[in-house]
Amino acid sequence: MEQQATPPLTQFHSLPQDELPDSPAVESPVDRTALGDRVPFMLRSREMAAFVATSSPEEQEAFEVRMARQQEALRLQEMRKARQIAKDLSTAGIMGPGTTLLDLPPEILIHILLHLPFTSVVICQLVNCHLHGLISQSTVLQYYVHLGISGLVDSPRSHLAVSERLSLLLARERRWDELDLDFYKVIDVTFPFEYNIATLSAGVFGGTALEKCRYMRIPSTATEEVKWREVYAEQKIVSHLPGFHEPDLHVLITAEPRTVYADTAKPSTVHDVQIHLNQLSTGEPHPDVLRTTISFETREEFRNPRIFMRYAGDNIVLVLRDYGGRSKPNDQVLVYEWRTGELKLSFSAPGGSYFYPVFLTTHLFLLSNEATGNLEYWRIPQSPSEPTPSRPFFLLSLPRLRSGNTFPSIWGFAEPNVGPCNASKPFYTNPEHAIVAFYISILSAGSEAVFRLFIHRSSLVGCLDQFSAFISIDEPPEPVSYDQWGPPVCRWFDGSWEESIEIVFGQKYLKTPPPAGTEGAPLTLLDFNPIDVAKVLAAENHLQAMASDESDCAREEDYRAEGVLSGYYESEYEGKGKQVALQPHEASGLRPDPLAGTIATYGSSDEPRPRPKAVTLMMDPLDDPEGCFEHTVYSSLPYTVHLSQGKYSFDALLLDEENILGIQKDGGGNVDEIHVLHYG
C-alpha cells in the first residue's frame, strides 16, 4: 500500500494538537489498494456527462446505479467517521447530550473541518452564517482550502507559520494566474552546453556529455548565486535524472560496449550498464543505498543503446532501446529497488515498442506501446512473496489508426513524480493530480503528423475502477477502447504547427505560438486544473451579469466565498450549475479560438492585463487533416488559457514548479543564456 497521506491538521503547528483527539489516518487517494470502489467526484461528473453523450439508455442507467451506490457507500463512511468523532468528543467530556456541532468550541470545530475535503469546507462556508465567519476568519482553514484550490500539498518540513504560508500561497497563485513576474534573472553559460542534452527536473537544470554531467539548481531569489556542479564517470553517461526534494537522489547511468565471442556464432556486442546512485546535493554516493552502483549487461546486440528512466518512491524503471542499425533487438524493461539494488521486475518486448515509463503510483507504472497503440498498466511487486507479472494487467487503447498508418513514437511525461516529498518550502504541487502529456507521432502516407494528448494522472488511475471488469491477471487483458474511456478525460491538440519546445508541470502546459517576428510573442500557459476553469467561468458569468443588469450582482457572495469562487464545487458535488468539465463554452458549436476574447495589446504595465479564457467545449473533434485516425477523435477535458502581458523571444522554453525558463542558443546550438522567469 502506498504511504498514507498526513492529516492536514498534523502539519499546522499553530493549533494545540496535544489537546485534541487523535486524527484518524487518511489513505492516499492515488493508492490503487486504498481506492477500492472510490472514484473522485470530479471524475464521476465527467464520466456521467460522457455517458449522456455517447451511451445507450441502458448503459446510462447501469452507470448511474453504480455511481449512486458508490456515493451512498462514501456517505455512510463519512457518517461513521462523524459518529466516531462525536463519540471521542463525548468520551473526552467535550460534547454531551443535546450539544450540536455548532455548539463546539472553535478549536474543536476547526479540527473536525480539517478532516473534510476542502470542497466540503467551502460548502459549509456558503450555507451557514456561523461556519462562514469561523472559516473565513480561520487562517488554517483558509490555507487548507487554498491548497486544495491550487492543487498543492503542504510541506511538513516547512518552519513557516501558517499565516506566512497562506500569504505566500495567495501571492504565488496570483502571479501564475496573471503571469506576473516575481523576478527576472539571466544566467550566462560560459562553457559548451548542447541544448539537445538539456533536462529540467525537480528544479534542477542539467545535461550530460560523454563522461561528464553538469547541473545547477534554479535560483529561487533574484540574489541567489548560481552554482554549477560537475560529476565525472569512467564510462559514457547515457542518462541522468535528478530529484532534489526527496530523496535527494541523482541517478547517473553509464554504458560501455564489450565484444562477446562464442564458439558457434560470430562476435557480438553487449553493453555493460551501471546505475550510479549519488546524492544530488553533494555529488557523493547516496548514504541510504546498500550498493552505490547497480550493474547489468544488455541481453542482445545493442549497437547504440538509449535508456529511458523514471523513478518514484523506492523504484527505478529503465527502458532500454537500441538505435544502432537495421536490426531491432528486443526492448528491455528493468525495475530495481534503488535502496537495496534488488531487481524486482524484468521483461522484454519487440524492438521499438517503448519509450519513457510514467508512474501512476509508486508501485504502478504505465508504458505506451507503439506497436499496439495501447497504454499498458504494469504492477511492481511489493514483496518477494508476490508473483512477478509477465504481462500488463490492464490496457487502454488509443484511437484506432487508418489502415497503413503507424505510430513512430508515443511517449508520456508527467512532473512532479509520485511519492513523498521532503521539500523545505512551504508547499509543493500535488503529483496525484498532475497532467500526463503524451507526445504522439503518426506516419501517414509518407508524412508525419504530431499530436499532443493530455490526461490527468488521477483519471488514468480512476480508469481501474471505472473499467475494473477489464482487469486481468492470469490472461492477456482486453483493451478498453478509446471511445469508452477517453473523450470525457482527454484533450487532444494538433501539434504539427508548433516549432518551439513545450513542457508540462503539475496541471500546467506551456507552449509558444507560431513565430511572431523580432518583437516576440506573449507566453501562453494552459491550465487543466478544473477548479481554475470553474473560477474563470464564474468570473466570466459575473462580468456578463454586471454588463446586463447590475441589480443581479448585488450580492458578491453569490460568486465568491472570501476570494474563493464558488462555481467549482457545484461541478464536483452536484452535477449541476456551473458544470465546469461538461458545458460547451458560450453554447457554441464551433471550435473556439483559445485566445479569442483576450486583450490583444501587450507592452507597458499600464496596459490592461489579458484575462484568462476558459475552453470547455465538450466532445470537441480533433483536427486531423492527414486522416491519421480511422474515425473522428473527440475530447472534452477543459482548460484555461493564460497570456503574459509582456512579449518574449526565446529559442526554447521549459517549465518547472516555480519558473519558466527561456533558452537562448548560440550559432552552434549550444545554450548561451538561461532566462529565469520566476513566479514562485
Q: Is residue 494 part of a domain?
A: no
- Residue 599 has a pLDDT of 27
Q: Is residue 485 part of a domain?
A: no
Q: How many CB atoms lie within 10 A of CB 548?
A: 10
Q: Is residue 580 part of a domain?
A: yes
Backbone angles phi, psi at 458, to 5 degrees: -65, -30
End of a domain among 161, 178, 195? 178
Pairing of strands 508-511, 521-527: antiparallel
Q: What are the angstrom distances between the C-alpha of 449 and each of 4, 106, 615?
A: 43, 59, 24
Q: What is the DSSP letter of 219?
A: P
Q: Is residue 429 part of a domain?
A: no
Q: Cα separation of 440 and 428, whole Å? A: 29
Q: Cα separation of 329 and 371, whole Å? A: 14
3-class DSSP state of 405? coil
Q: What are the angstrom distances between the C-alpha of 180 and each of 175, 219, 328, 425, 500?
A: 5, 18, 49, 21, 22
Q: Which of 57-71, 101-115, 178-192 has the highest mean pLDDT?
A: 178-192
3-class DSSP state of 408? strand
Q: Give the pLDDT confidence of 485-532 residue by residue, as tens digits.
A: 999 999 999 875 555 556 899 999 998 765 545 678 889 999 999 999
Extract the C-alpha cell encoding 353. 515498442
Cβ neighbours of residue 136 under 8 Å, at least 6 residues apart? 125, 142, 561, 562
Q: Give the pLDDT confidence of 37-90 residue by residue, as tens digits.
A: 333 333 344 444 454 455 666 666 666 667 667 767 776 776 677 667 667 766
pLDDT higher than 60, residue 462: yes
- Residue 207 has a pLDDT of 86
Sign of the dihedral defined by the CA atoms of residues 550, 551, 557, 559, in that order? negative
Q: 282-313 burial, b for 16+ CB within 10 Å, e for fewer? A: eeeebeebeeeebebebebbbeebebbbbbbb
pLDDT tier at 542 (50, 70, 90 boundaries)? Answer: confident
Q: Cα separation of 669 and 79, whole Å? A: 62
Q: How many CB atoms lie within 10 A of CB 566?
A: 20
pLDDT higher than 70, residue 98: no
pLDDT higher than 70, residue 574: no
Q: Is residue 333 part of a domain?
A: no
Q: What counts of helices (H) and strands (E) characterise the chain?
A: 12, 35
Q: Is residue 434 part of a domain?
A: no
Q: Is residue 470 part of a domain?
A: no
Question: Please, what is the average pLDDT of the chain?
Answer: 79
- Residue 588 has a pLDDT of 25
Q: What is the DSSP letter of 285?
A: B
Sign of the dihedral defined by the CA atoms of residues 336, 341, 343, 348, in that order? positive
Question: Which DSSP helix (H) or strand (E) runs through 203?
Answer: none
Extract the C-alpha cell encoding 620. 470537441
Q: Cα separation of 165 and 162, whole Å? A: 5
Q: For helices 162-178 and 139-150, what crossing angle results, to 10°?
A: 30
Question: Which DSSP helix (H) or strand (E) runs through 457?
Answer: helix 457-466
Q: How many CB atoms lie within 10 A of CB 264?
A: 4
Q: Could you give the number of structural domains in the chain?
A: 2
Percent residues over pLDDT 70 in the chain: 75
Asked if residue 361 lies in contact with residue 372, where contact means CB atoms within 8 angstroms, the answer is: no
Q: Is residue 109 part of a domain?
A: yes
Owning domain of residue 155: 8-178
pLDDT tier at 18 (50, 70, 90 boundaries)? Answer: very low
Q: Give the pLDDT confidence of 624-638 residue by residue, as tens digits.
A: 988 999 999 999 999
- Residue 521 has a pLDDT of 86
Asked if residue 262 lies in contact with residue 291, where contact means CB atoms within 8 angstroms, the answer is: no
pLDDT tier at 608 (50, 70, 90 boundaries)? Answer: low
Rg (Cα) of the chain, in Å, rounded?
Answer: 26
Q: Cα separation of 293 and 315, whole Å? A: 15
Asked if residue 182 lies in contact with residue 679, where contact means CB atoms within 8 angstroms, the answer is: yes
End of a domain among 144, 178, 212? 178
Q: What is the DSSP string of 79-114?
A: HHHHHHHHHHHHHTTSS-TT--GGGS-HHHHHHHHT
Q: Give the pLDDT confidence of 405-446 residue by residue, as tens digits.
A: 999 999 999 999 888 776 778 999 999 999 999 999 999 888
End of a domain among 123, 143, 178? 178
pLDDT tier at 93 (50, 70, 90 boundaries)? Answer: low
- Residue 19 has a pLDDT of 31
